[in-house]
Amino acid sequence: MADPFQANADAVFAPSRAPFSISPSDASPLAIVPKRIFVGTGGNVTLRGVDGQADVVYRNVADGVYLNVRPLFIRATGTTASNIVGEA
């Protein structure tokens, strides 16, 4: 299949080229730092940004919301949202 955008460089503002499911973990960083994350089933999301010094909690995130944040960790403790997808 032809890809008319093959010659274009990837950028943080460009659409995702490799989405992946995220399983929250208290100990392990994400294998890939995504451009943003999609929350399929709402709740709280506890994460640490790629350059962050501490965890933060996005509270009461609704179903189907994109969080424009580049997390290094999405913590299991404090995260009640599910069906989280990273967009890389």
Q: Give 12-71 pLDDT, tens digit per residue.
A: 889 999 999 999 999 999 999 999 999 999 999 999 999 999 999 999 999 999 999 999
Residue 8 pLDDT: 85
Q: Which domain holds residue 81?
A: 23-87
Identity of the residue numbered 67: L
4 part of a folded domain: no
66 part of a folded domain: yes
pTM above the 0.85 mark? Answer: yes
Give the single-character DSSP code of 72.
Answer: E
Tokens 């599910």 — which residue? 82
2 part of a folded domain: no
Give the single-character DSSP code of 14.
Answer: S
